[in-house]
Amino acid sequence: MNFSQKIKQQEFWTNVLKVAIPFFLIVTLFSLFFNSWEAIFAGDWAVVSEINFAAGKWKIFWGTKVVVCFLYGIYVTNKNMK
């Protein structure tokens, strides 16, 4: 079955979400720890917010993760679905 046939099935999109959501959570946590490790363990949430979300940074922070995780979910689902 080719890709265009697979995307017409509801099972395909269910499996995409099953892959993309956990991957999104893992990528988000990893990114937060990587960008602001010291502030997280110090409990300084204002610094975490400033580093990752202030001044429009939230658009890039969340936007790239949503797009990458969605594309990864499509790739993995397409690869594993017969």
DSSP 45-72: HHHHHHHHTGGGHHHHHHHHHHHHHHHH
Which residues constitute the domain of residue 34?
Answer: 3-80
Structure tokens at 52: 């990752």
> In the chain, how many domains are there?
1
Q: pLDDT 10s digit of each residue in the chain, 82 long?
A: 899 999 999 999 999 999 999 999 999 999 999 999 999 999 999 999 999 999 999 999 999 999 999 999 999 999 999 8
d(CA 28, CA 15): 20
Total-model pTM: 0.88
